[in-house]
Amino acid sequence: MKKTIFSILFSLILAPQFAQTFYSPDSSLRAEISTGDYPGFVLYQYQQKLIENTSIGLKLQTGEILGKNPQILKKTYASYAGVVYPPYGQEKQIDDIYNSLILVLSDSLSVEFRLYNNGLAYRLKYTGQGAAVVENELATFRLHASSTVWNPQVESFANTFEPRYVETPLSQMPTNGLSLLPFLAEADSMPLLMISEAAQSNYPGMYLKAAHDTLRAVFPPYVTKENYKWAYRLRITDFAPFSGKIATQTAPYIAKLPAPANLPWRVILVAQNEMDLLSNRLIYLLGDAPKMDFSWVKPGLVAWDWYNHWELSGTSFKPGKNTATYKYFVDFAAKNGIPYINLDEGWNHNKKVFKLNKNIDVHEILRYAKSKNVGVFLWFMWDGLEENLGAKLDTFSAWGVAGLKVDFFDRDDQKMVAFAETLAQEAAKRKLMLNLHGIWKPTGMERTYPNIVNREGIIGLENNKFGNDATARHNVSLAFTRFVVGSADYTPGALFHVKQANYSKNWTHPTAMTTRAHQLAMYVVYYGALQMMPEAPTTYEKEPEMLALISKMPTVWDQSIPLDGQVGDFVVMARSKNNNWYVAGMTDKAHKINLNLSFLPTGEYEAELFSDGSKTIENPAFYEKNVFDAKNTDKPEIVMEESGGFLLVLRKK
Same-domain pairing of 451 and 473? no
Q: Are residues 371 and 465 in the same domain?
A: no
Q: Is the dihedral of CA 63, 65, 66, 72 positive or negative?
A: negative
Length of the chain: 653
Range of the domain at 9: 2-219+254-286
Q: Are residues 210 and 309 in the same domain?
A: no
* Tens digit of each residue's pLDDT (9 = 90 or more) over 444-457: 999 999 999 999 99
Q: Which residue(s) pair with 270 in the sheet?
A: 193
Domain count, the chain: 3
Asked whether residue 487 carries a pLDDT value surpassing 70, the answer given is yes
Looking at the structure, tell me whether residues 361 and 276 fall in a common domain.
Answer: no
What is the reported pLDDT for 16?
A: 55
Q: Are 188 and 210 in contact (CB under 8 A)?
A: no
Same domain for 324 and 432, yes or no, is: yes
Exposure string of 298-313, with b = 16+ CB inside 10 Å and e = fewer, is bbbbbbbbbbbbbbbe
- Cα 301 to Cα 47, 377, 554: the distances in Å are 47, 11, 8
Query: Is residue 226 a part of any domain in this protein?
Result: no
Is the pLDDT reported for residue 235 higher than 80? Answer: no
Q: pLDDT at residue 6 above 90?
A: no
Task: Kindly write down the DSSP assignment for every residue of 548-595, as one continuous string.
Answer: HHHTT--SS-SEEEEEEEETTTEEEEEEEETTEEEEEEEESS-EEEE-
State how far the Cα of 147 lies from the Cα of 201, in Å rounded to an integer.
Answer: 31
**Residue 504 CB partners (closer than 8 Å, separation 6+):** none
Q: Is 12 a residue whose pLDDT tops 90? A: no
At residue 563, φ and ψ (nearest 5 deg) are -110, -40
Domain edge (last residue) among 423, 457, 491: 457
Alpha helix (H) ranges present in 207-361? Answer: 274-278, 282-286, 323-335
Q: What number is the average pLDDT over the span 182-207?
A: 97
Of all residues in the chain, the percent with pLDDT exceeding 70 is 95
For the segment 162-172, the average pLDDT, to the nearest whole number, is 95
The one-letter amino acid code at 286 reads: L
DSSP count for the chain of H helices, then E strands: 13, 40
- CATH code of the domain covering residue 170: 2.70.98.10
Query: Are 310 and 199 within one domain?
Result: no
pLDDT for 5 equals 59
Residue 239 has pLDDT above 90, yes or no: no
pLDDT surpasses 90 at 17? no
Predicted confidence at residue 18, as pLDDT, reads: 79
> Predicted confidence band at 4 (pLDDT cuts at 50, 70, 90)?
low
Please report the pLDDT score of residue 231 as a whole number. Answer: 45
| pLDDT tops 70 at residue 364 | yes
What pLDDT is stored for residue 227 in this prediction?
84
- Whether 224 is covered by a domain: the verdict is no
**What SS3 state is found at 467?**
coil
pLDDT bucket at 244, cuts 50 / 70 / 90: low
The β-bridge relationship of strands 403-407 and 433-436 is parallel
pLDDT for residue 245: 78
503 in a domain, yes or no? Answer: yes
Same domain assignment for residues 319 and 274: no
What b-and-e string marks burial along 138-156, b requiring 16 or more CB atoms within 10 Å of the CB? bbbbbbbeebbbbbbbbee
Q: What is the DSSP string of 479-537?
A: HHTGGGGS----------B--GGG----SSS--BSS-HHHHHHHHHHS--SEEEE-S-H
Integer Cα distance of 589 and 572 in angstroms: 14
From 286, 310, 333, give the residue that closes a domain: 286
Query: What's the pLDDT score for residue 233?
Result: 37
- Residue 11 confidence (pLDDT) above 50: no
Span 520-536, average pLDDT: 98
pLDDT in tens, 404-462: 999 999 999 999 999 999 999 999 999 999 999 999 999 999 999 999 999 999 999 99
Average pLDDT, integer, range 292-315: 97
- The model's pTM is 0.96
- Residues 485, 605: one domain? yes
What does the pLDDT look like over 91-130, one tens digit per residue? 999 999 999 999 999 899 999 999 999 999 999 999 999 9
**Rounded distance, CA 20 to CA 28, Å?**
17
Query: Other CB atoms closer than 10 Å to residue 201's CB: what's the count?
Result: 18
CA–CA separation, 481 and 90 (whole Å): 16
Catalytic annotation, residues: 407, 462
> Would residue 228 count as lying in a domain?
no
Strand ordering across the sheet containing 433-436? 452-455, 433-436, 403-407, 375-381, 340-343, 300-303, 530-533
Provide the mean pLDDT of the chain.
Answer: 94
Query: Are 559 and 581 in contact, with CB atoms under 8 Å apart?
Result: no
Span 347-354, mean pLDDT?
91
Q: What is the pLDDT at residue 93? A: 98
Contacts of 204 (CB under 8 A, 6+ apart): 219, 220, 222, 254, 255, 412, 413, 414, 417
Which band of pLDDT confidence, cut at 50, 70 and 90, is reported for residue 246? Answer: confident
Q: Is the pLDDT assigned to residue 485 strictly greater than 70?
A: yes
pLDDT score recorded for residue 301 = 98
Which helix (H) or strand (E) segment holds residue 122: the answer is strand 119-126
| pLDDT confidence of residue 597 | 98
From residue 496, how far is each of 1, 109, 459, 507, 612 by CA, in Å? 45, 56, 18, 13, 15
Q: Are residues 495 and 538 in the same domain?
A: yes
Q: Are residues 200 and 107 in the same domain?
A: yes
Domain-embedded: residue 236: no
CATH classification at residue 429: 3.20.20.70
* Single residue among 392, 425, 457 that ends a domain in this structure: 457
Return d(Cα 152, Cα 208) in angstroms, integer: 10
| 42 domain-assigned | yes
Biggest alpha carbon distance in the chain? 83
392 domain-assigned: yes
- Please answer whether residues 67 and 103 qualify as being in contact, where contact means their C-beta atoms are separated by less than 8 angstroms: no
- At 507, the pLDDT band (50, 70, 90 cuts) reads very high
Are 339 and 444 found together in one domain?
Answer: yes
**Is the sign of the CA dihedral 415, 417, 418, 424 positive or negative?**
positive
Task: Tell me whether residue 290 is exposed, middle or buried, using C-beta atoms within 10 angstroms of its C-beta: 0 to 12, 13 to 18, 19 or more.
Answer: middle
156 and 55 within one domain: yes
Q: How confident is the model at residue 232 (pLDDT cuts 50, 70, 90)?
A: very low
- For residues 545-553, give the mean pLDDT: 98
Q: Is residue 315 part of a domain?
A: yes
pLDDT value, residue 631? 97
The span from the CA of 357 to the CA of 593, in Å, is 52
